C-alpha cells in the first residue's frame, strides 16, 4: 500500500496527541519514537500480529530497555487474566512511572494494553499502533480502555488517552477478509450517525474499499478519525455527544455477550445492532423505513450480517442491554436516529418496543 501520509491531532490541551496514518510507518521509527517517554517500553501484541510486525517495532526501540508480551488473539482474551499478564511483564521489566506501553494489534490489544497502562503505577504512557481497520478508525482513538467480564463487555475500564496513534495502513494487507469487513461496520457508523455525505461516499466506493484500494482506504480512515477526534475533543468522557459513537453498540454488545465472545465479531455485532436501532427508530416514528433499507443495503454490500442470529434468546439480550454503561437510573438509554447522518440520544426507551424489534 502506498500513498501520502496524513496527520491529524486530537485536541486535548496539554494531552493533545497526533494520529499518523500512512503505509510503512511502523518501520520508520522517526514517526513515533518522539512519543515514547522514559527508558522502558513494553510492546504488547497478539499471536497473529507479532510474527508479522513485532520486528519492525523492535528495530525502532534500539537504545532502550524494552521487552514484548505476546498474548493469545481474540475477544475471549480481553480479560482481567490478560491484564494481569501485562502487569507481570511490566514488573519483570522493572517499569517505573516513566515507562511506556506500546499496543501493537487490533482493538482487543489496544483496549487491554491501554487499560494496563492506565492502571500501572496509576497511569503510565502508551502508544497505539492499530493493525486492523476497526482499530484504525475507532478503538485506537479517544482513550477508552478496558476489559470484558463474563457478565458483559467493557465493564471494567478507564479513560486513558494514548500519546500517539500510529496507523500503518500497509498492515491491512494481511488482515483476514472477515476482519476487514467487520471494520467497515464502524466506518459505516460514522456516516450513519453524523455525516450523510460520507455515507453517500461509502455507497459510491464500497467496491473499491472492499478490494482494499489503498487511497480510498486511507481516505476513509482519515475521515473517520477526523470525526472521532472532533467528538473526543469536545466530549472526552462521554457526558453528551460522544455517546452518539455508540450507535448500534448497545444491541451489538448484548449480542456479543449472549452469543459468546468471539463467535460474533465486534463489527458484526455493531452491524446488526445499527440495523436494530434503525428499525426501532422507524417503529417509534423517528425515521423512515427507507433509511433502514439504505443502511441495511450498504452493510450487506460490505458483507456484514444485518439480522440477529437464529435462536438468540431475546430475554437474554434485554438482560445484557440493561447492564449497558449508557443506562441511567435503571432506564434504558439508546442511540437512535432520524435517518442517515442524524443520530441522537433517546432516553427512557420503552422496553416493549425493544422487545418487539428483537423478536420480529
11 in active site: no
Residues 6+ apart with CB under 8 A from 311: none
Nearest approach, Cβ of 281 to ligand NAD (angstroms)?
Answer: 22
Residue burial 260-272, b: 16+ Cβ < 10 Å; e: rest? ebeebbbbbbbbb
Closest CA to 229 of 6, 32, 18: 18
Query: Among this protein's residues, is 253 annotated catalytic?
Result: yes
Q: Is 342 marked active-site? A: no
Cβ closest to ligand NAD, residue 137 vs residue 332: 137
Query: 133, 179 in Cβ contact below 8 A?
Result: yes
Dihedral (CA of 326, 329, 334, 338) sign: negative
Q: How is residue 261 written as a grid cell?
A: 465472545
- From the candidates 144, 216, 283, 333, give the one annotated as an active-site residue: 144
Nearer to ligand NAD, 1 or 52 (CB): 52
Q: Please, which residues bridge with residue 128 across strands?
A: 103, 165
Among 216, 246, 325, 333, the active-site one is 246
For residue 249, indicate whether it is catalytic: yes
Strand partners, 43: 68, 102
136 or 282: whose CB is closer to ligand NAD?
A: 136
Least Å distance, CB 65 to ligand NAD, is 26
Looking at 75, 179, 186, 236, which residue is catalytic?
Answer: 186
Per DSSP, the residues of 167-223 read EEGGGGGGS-HHHHHHHHHHHHHHHHHH-HHHHHHHHHHHHHHHTT-HHHHHHHHHH
- Provide, rounded to whole angstroms, the least separation between the CB of residue 182 and ligand NAD: 5
Q: Which residues of 122-136 are buried (b: 16+ CB within 10 A; e: fewer)?
A: eebbbbbbbbbbbbb
Q: Verify whether residue 347 is a known catalytic residue.
A: no
Least distance from ligand NAD to the Cβ atom of residue 64, Å: 24
Residues forming contacts to ligand NAD in the complex (CB under 6 A) are 46, 48-49, 52, 73-75, 78, 105-109, 111, 131-132, 134-135, 138-139, 142, 144, 153-154, 171, 174-175, 179, 182, 266-267
Active site residue 242: yes
Which of 31, 163, 189, 253 does the annotation list as catalytic? 253
Query: Which of the residues 6, 85, 205, 242 is marked catalytic?
Result: 242
Smallest separation (angstroms) from ligand NAD to the CB of 77: 9
Give the nearer residue to ligand NAD in terms of CB position, either 161 or 287.
161
77 is known as an active-site residue: no
CA 175, 180, 186, 188 torsion: positive or negative?
A: positive
In the complex, the smallest distance separating the C-beta of residue 109 from ligand NAD, rounded to whole angstroms, is 6
- Is 344 labeled as catalytic in the residue annotation? no
Decide whether 82 or 132 has the Cβ nearer to ligand NAD: 132
The kind and range of the H/E element at 295 are: helix 289-301
Instruction: Give the distance between the most distant pair of CA atoms in the chain.
Output: 62
Give catalytic status of residue 348 as yes or no: no
Sequence-separated (6 or more) residues with CB below 8 Å from residue 216 = 205, 208, 209
Q: How many CB atoms lie within 10 A of CB 91?
A: 10
Whole-number minimum distance, CB 239 to ligand NAD, in Å?
16
Where in 34-136 does DSSP place strands (E)?
Answer: 40-46, 65-71, 100-105, 125-130
SS3 343: strand
Catalytic residues: 122, 144, 186, 228, 238, 242, 246, 249, 253, 266
Amino acid at each position: 500500500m502506498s500513498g501520502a501520509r496524513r496527520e491529524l491531532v486530537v485536541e486535548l490541551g496539554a494531552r493533545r496527541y497526533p494520529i499518523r496514518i500512512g503505509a510503512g510507518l511502523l518501520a520508520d521509527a522517526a514517526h513515533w519514537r518522539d512519543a515514547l517517554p522514559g527508558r522502558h517500553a513494553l510492546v504488547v501484541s497478539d499471536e497473529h500480529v507479532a510474527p508479522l510486525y513485532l520486528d519492525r517495532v523492535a528495530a525502532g526501540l534500539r537504545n532502550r530497555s524494552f521487552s514484548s508480551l505476546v498474548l493469545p488473539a481474540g475477544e475471549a482474551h480481553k480479560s482481567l487474566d490478560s491484564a494481569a499478564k501485562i502487569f507481570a511483564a511490566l514488573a519483570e521489566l522493572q517499569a517505573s512511572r516513566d515507562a511506556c506501553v506500546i499496543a501493537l494489534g487490533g482493538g482487543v490489544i489496544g483496549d487491554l494494553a491501554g487499560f494496563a497502562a492506565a492502571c500501572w503505577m496509576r497511569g503510565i504512557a502508551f502508544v497505539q499502533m492499530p493493525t486492523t481497520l476497526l482499530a484504525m478508525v475507532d478503538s485506537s482513538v479517544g482513550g477508552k480502555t478496558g476489559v470484558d467480564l463474563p457478565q458483559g463487555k467493557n465493564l471494567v475500564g478507564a479513560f486513558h488517552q494514548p500519546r500517539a496513534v500510529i496507523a500503518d495502513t500497509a498492515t491491512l494487507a494481511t488482515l483476514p477478509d472477515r476482519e476487514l469487513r467487520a471494520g467497515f461496520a464502524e466506518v459505516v457508523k460514522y456516516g450513519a450517525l453524523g455525516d450523510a455525505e460520507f455515507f453517500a461516499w461509502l455507497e459510491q466506493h464500497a467496491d473499491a474499499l472492499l478490494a482494499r484500494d489503498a487511497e480510498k482506504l486511507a481516505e476513509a480512515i482519515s475521515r473517520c478519525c477526523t470525526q472521532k477526534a472532533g467528538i473526543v475533543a469536545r466530549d472526552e468522557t462521554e457526558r453528551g455527544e460522544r455517546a452518539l459513537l455508540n450507535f448500534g453498540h448497545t444491541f451489538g454488545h448484548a449480542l456479543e455477550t449472549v452469543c459468546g465472545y468471539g463467535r460474533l465479531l465486534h463489527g458484526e455485532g455493531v452491524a446488526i445492532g445499527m440495523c436494530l436501532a434503525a428499525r426501532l427508530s422507524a417503529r417509534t416514528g423517528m425515521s423512515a423505513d427507507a433509511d433502514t433499507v439504505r443502511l441495511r443495503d450498504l452493510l450487506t454490500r460490505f458483507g456484514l450480517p444485518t439480522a440477529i442470529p437464529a435462536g438468540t434468546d431475546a430475554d437474554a439480550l434485554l438482560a445484557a442491554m440493561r447492564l449497558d454503561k449508557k443506562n441511567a437510573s435503571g432506564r434504558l438509554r439508546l442511540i437512535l436516529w432520524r435517518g442517515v447522518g442524524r443520530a441522537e440520544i433517546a432516553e427512557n426507551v420503552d422496553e416493549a418496543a425493544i422487545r418487539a424489534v428483537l423478536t420480529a
